[in-house]
Amino acid sequence: MFIEVLVVALVGTAAGSYLNYLESSEEASMLASVKAEAKTGKTVTAEKALRTHPDFWLKKTFTVSDYLAMLDAGKLTIIGLPDASAFKSARPLIYLVTSSGELGNVPDTWKGSLTERSMANHPAGQRIVAVGTISPAEGISFGEIMRILVDVLIAAAILVSLKDMLPGGGGKFSPTRDVSTRFSDVIGAADAKAALQDVVNYLKDPEAYSRVGATPSRGVLMSGPPGTGKTLLAKALAGECGVSFIACSGADFSSKFFGVGITMVKSLFARARKEGAAIIFIDEIDGIGRRSSNESTGQAEQNRIINQFLIELDGFNASERIIVIGATNFVDNIDPALIREGRFDRKIELRLPDVVEREQLLRYYSRKLTVSPDIDFAQLARLTLGLSPAAVAALVNQGALRAARAGSSVVSMQHLTDAVETTHLGEVSGAMMSEDERYKTAVHEAGHALLSVIRKSGNVEKVTIIPRTNALGVTFISHEDSVKLETKTSLNHHIDVLLAGRAAEQLVFGESSNGAGSDLHRATAIATDMLNKFGFGSGLAVVTKDYLTPENHIKELNELLATRYKETCQVLEQHMSSLKAVASLLMRDETVDGAIIKAMVGHTELHSEA
């Protein structure tokens, strides 16, 4: 709201400045007209100015003797004779315009009545205006009206912003009643739904808990990667319980004004208590921050905001049906006092969807699209490993955009697989590759694909050498994400598949290219975990820098990777004909289905057994 107030203030200031400019321009024009008419003996503009702008004559004061001399010499074009009551002056002022166009005033301090003297004795041609009978307008000018209006608008905007900050007031933290979202609308997250069932039971039947003396959880902390549906799940909880839903963000309590954040916290909980039963959802609750001993003004205010939250969380009584749900991607950034038992004591971690849930998500988000019957949702689910529900929704929409761009009336499997590839690798690159580069890329990708099939490490979905933003080619290998335990052998096979591209280049061309750089990084990461975390080195000990010198640490890594690279080269040498056949297919078709590669390897193995 502060931004809106600032905008109104700036507009008001600009409008006031513009009005001042217009008025100053109007006054300058009027003065010029008065002076021009004075030289010709006319008095029309001067008489008008006497009524509307008497302040023009206050800028210069003549002495009585100067005035009498000009009066007797006939050097005055117009004389204004106001009475004392018209201008609230102790002694009346006489206004004059000289024949040269000069404006001024004369205080009537003559021993007699200077006004009567002027009326009784003035040469012909001098215009006498009895201003007292036509006193200046008692109203206000248009410019003054506009300035007052702008001031009123600014004041109103400030009052509205202050109203939002008052406990229970304003439009801030407006509740959503009669929430229609239910747990059935949230695909996956079965563990989280089960954990929230206690909250549902309490809000629906609080007496059942009070009869046995049970104290329900007052706060629930949801954590997990971005896009896993924390907001949707909180809203579904409100719908299941039939209570109001009040959503806000941790950033809502930050302000440049001291004390506003605390007032906002009070406002939030006051609004919830007014509803009687409510779910308060604070997204990005880590934005509230952590308390610190730093004595700066900003940190002191943050400490006060967190303290107010603690007071509110501890201030619930047994009859208040209010549950606070916080959501964050960074649990470590939350003040420990907020998440201790009795406050946010129920902690729920939302994980990324597994392959079954991803298939359900793909079907759910595709239900409003016109899709072709050839779409294999199971394969798409395998290809989207590691994607959140939000990312899956974006992917389906990307597929629909591709269909529309191509002028197609339906969304096909190709449109969706292109969207998957774009999500993982970026858009198709317009860069041209030479035939030599294309063949090296084909050999490299064929090596990855063959080792995956031979080692049974993952499922090869397809291989392509169509260049994209982040890669010249790619082998799509899906994995069973239901696997929770990895053996030393399975991890070795993952490394073999990563090293196979470099090994294939070495066997066919006698040297490898820089295209294997990212593969080496990932292989090294797996090898490092094997040694540092899992104890899969040459001995039983977990190899870390705390126990070994950096030289020995690198030596152990190199020995592990060298062993895997040697075995990978040996396997590819035994399947050299398949390697070259897959590379040739890629050169011809650019994209080869994984089923074809599996058939080629199987045929080779049967041939060799015969």
Question: What are 444-499's pLDDT values in tens digits?
Answer: 999 999 999 999 988 898 899 888 777 788 888 888 766 778 899 999 999 999 99
- Residue 458: count of CB within 10 angstroms of its CB: 21
In this prediction, residue 182 carries a pLDDT of 92
Q: How far is 324 from 282, CA to CA, in rounded Å?
A: 8
H or E segment and range at residue 326 = strand 321-328
Residue type, 343: R
Higher pLDDT, 345 or 372: 372
Average pLDDT of the segment spanning 494-507 = 95
Contacts 24+ apart (CB under 8 A), 294-298: 297/258
Residue written as tokens 């990563």? 498
Specify the range with the lowest mean pLDDT, choosing from 5-14, 26-35, 388-397: 5-14
Mean pLDDT of 518-530: 91
Q: What is the DSSP letter of 176?
A: B
Q: What is the mean pLDDT of residues 140-154?
A: 65
The active-site residue, picked from 445, 461, 505, 556, is 445
* pLDDT confidence of residue 305: 86
Rounded to whole angstroms, the Cα distance separating 56 from 33 reads 13
For 348, the enclosing helix (H) or strand (E) is strand 346-349
For residue 607, the model assigns a pLDDT of 46
Tell me the Cα Rg of the chain: 42
Q: Could you give the CA distance from residue 583 to residue 190 in angstroms, rounded to a whole number?
A: 44
Which CATH code of 1.10.580.10, 1.10.1740.10, 1.20.58.760, 3.40.50.1360 fits the domain covering 435-609?
1.20.58.760
What would the mean pLDDT of 213-228 be, rounded to a whole number?
86
Q: Can you give the pLDDT at residue 325?
A: 93
Tell me: pLDDT of 609 over 50. no
| Terminal Cα-to-Cα distance of the chain (whole angstroms) | 80
pLDDT in tens, 352-392: 898 899 999 999 999 989 999 989 999 899 888 888 999 99
Give the alpha-carbon dihedral of 482, 483, 485, 490, to 10 degrees.
Answer: -170
- pLDDT for the residue 398: 93
Confidence of residue 88 (pLDDT cuts 50, 70, 90): very low
Least confident of 67-81, 394-408, 509-523: 67-81
Q: 282, 199, 191: which is closest to 239 by C-alpha?
A: 199
Q: What is the dihedral of CA 110, 115, 116, 117, to 10 degrees?
A: 60
Give me the CATH code for the 183-349 domain, please.
3.40.50.300
DSSP state of 277: E
Distance CA 534, CA 541 (A): 9
H/E stretch holding 591 = strand 591-593
All CATH 1.10.8.60 domain ranges in the chain, comma separated: 370-425
> For residue 129, what pLDDT is reported?
59
Concerning whether 445 is annotated as a catalytic residue, the answer is yes
Alpha helix positions (H), 426-487: 435-455
Q: Who's near 253: CB < 8 A, 6+ residues apart? A: 261, 264, 265, 287, 288, 305
Of the listed ranges 66-75, 113-122, 429-438, 474-483, the one predicted with least confidence: 113-122
Task: Tell me what pLDDT residue 93 has.
Answer: 72
Whether residue 49 is predicted with pLDDT greater than 80 in this model: the reply is no
- What is the H or E stretch that residue 151 is in? helix 142-165
* Structural contact between residues 463 and 444, judged by C-beta atoms closer than 8 angstroms: no
* H-helix segments, 58-168: 64-73, 84-87, 114-120, 142-165
| CATH number belonging to domain 2-134 | 3.30.720.210
**pLDDT for 86:** 45
- Predicted pLDDT at 307: 87
The pLDDT assigned to 26 comes to 63
Region 421-434: mean pLDDT is 76
Give which of 437, 432, 434 is closest to 513, Cα–Cα: 437
* Residue, of 244 and 297, whose pLDDT is higher: 244
Rounded CA-CA distance 575/443 in Å is 13
Q: What pLDDT does 427 receive?
A: 74
Closest CA to 495 of 570, 563, 555, 579: 563
Please say if the pLDDT value at position 21 is more than 80: no
pLDDT band at 167 (very low <50, low <70, confident <90, very high): very low
Which of 81-95, 256-270, 547-561 reaches the highest mean pLDDT? 256-270
In this predicted model, which residue has the larger pLDDT, 267 or 605? 267
Which residues belong to CATH 3.30.720.210 in the chain? 2-134
Outline which parts of the chain fall under CATH 1.20.58.760: 435-609
d(CA 142, CA 135) in angstroms, rounded, equals 19
pLDDT for res 137: 42
Task: Tell me: pLDDT of 201 over 80.
Answer: yes
Residues in the chain: 610
What is the model's pLDDT at position 253? Answer: 82
Confidence (pLDDT) at 89: 46
Name the percent of the chain lying above pLDDT 70.
74
- CATH number of the structural domain 370-425: 1.10.8.60
- Sign for the CA dihedral angle at 182, 184, 188, 192 comes to positive
pTM of the predicted model as reported, rounded to 2 decimal places: 0.64
Residue with tokens 């592990």: 560
- Please tell me the least confidently modeled range out of 29-38, 140-149, 496-505: 140-149
Q: Are 344 and 326 in contact, with CB atoms under 8 Å apart? A: yes
